[in-house]
Amino acid sequence: MTTVGFLGLGRMGAPMAANLVGHVETLVVHDLYPPAVGALVAKGAQAAGSARALGERCDLVFLSLPTPGIVREAVTEVVSIGTPRIVCDLSTSGPALAQELHNTLTPRGIAGFDAPVSGGIRGAEQGTLAIMVGGPEARWPELEPLLLRLGRPFYMGESPGAGQVMKLANNLLSLAAIATTAEAMTLGVKAGLDPARMIEVLNAGTGANSATRDKWPRAVLPRTFDFGFSAQLSLKDTRLALDEARAMGVPLPTGERLEALLERVLAAYGDGADFTEMAKIVEADSGLDPARGA
């Protein structure tokens, strides 16, 4: 009998955990926010009570947490008295931490996988996430069927952090699309073009990208800026990419510009800002009123 644990029931973790309900023999969950635990228990999961208790009960543990430091602390608790066969980090926590966790888990006979996800809250809810996975190939057949419940897993290799590097590369392109789309839209609006019509044209042509297809129609054109991913977490991910690039001797000048832009978003709009508010900074720099928009 396999008991699966899920630690971290935030905006991404809760829907991912919900997609496992009914597809595993026993699902045990934990989060510091009791209502999030209660919602999963109402769907058929069991409450662990603590990360330590979850680790003691479970054969396989998933984590979906906001920062590398929190992931590190959680894994330490999970394995303090328990020895799950597999620990799988679904967070974007960077390749350095993936290597550190590998070094911690392997001597205990625990297989560590890094498996960050892309696709946002909607992808988590619909089970359509792209999942980038690094970890021991011999244990991959045990993990893959569960990840298929969450989306489409891509096995990137045995090297600890392989999935994390792929995710950081993905995030750089995603953020660059937002920043460049903001510049292109601002150019057109300053010239008197209709922004909604511009998005229609871009999506029919070679300028189409994830920002024009999804982020502008959902969050920028209506001026809600509520796509669902924080600028603060985007900045964390960008800095992880820059740290890894520096360690490998890879220049990332575009990444450095994205870092600076996200820092300005947080300075202007606070820690609760959405990453789509990058568009407001570009608009304001061009003399447009962000309240009206591009």
- Reported as a single tens digit per residue, the pLDDT across 70-127 is 999 999 999 999 899 999 999 999 999 999 999 999 999 999 999 999 998 999 999 9
Per 3-state DSSP, the chain is made up of helix, strand and coil in percentages (nearest 5) of: 55, 15, 30
175, 263 contact by CB (below 8 A): no
- CATH 1.10.1040.10 boundaries in the chain: 165-285
Would you name the residues annotated as active-site residues?
167
pLDDT digits (tens, 9 = 90+) for 192-204: 999 999 999 999 9
* Single-letter amino acid code for the residue at 27: L
Q: Give the torsion through C-alpha atoms of 268, 256, 186, 119, to 10 deg.
A: -90
| Assigned CATH for 165-285 | 1.10.1040.10
State mean pLDDT over 62-73. Answer: 96
Hey, what are 290's tokens? 């962000």
Under 8 Å between Cβ of 48 and 54: yes
Question: Options 1.10.645.10, 3.40.50.720, 3.65.10.10, 2.60.40.10; which CATH number does 3-159 get?
Answer: 3.40.50.720
Split at pLDDT 50, 70, 90, the class of 293 is low
Of 136, 132, 180, give the one whose Cα is nearest residue 156.
Answer: 132
pTM of the entire predicted model: 0.92
- For residues 28-40, average pLDDT: 97
Write down the pLDDT at residue 289.
Answer: 84
How large is the average pLDDT for residues 8-17?
A: 97
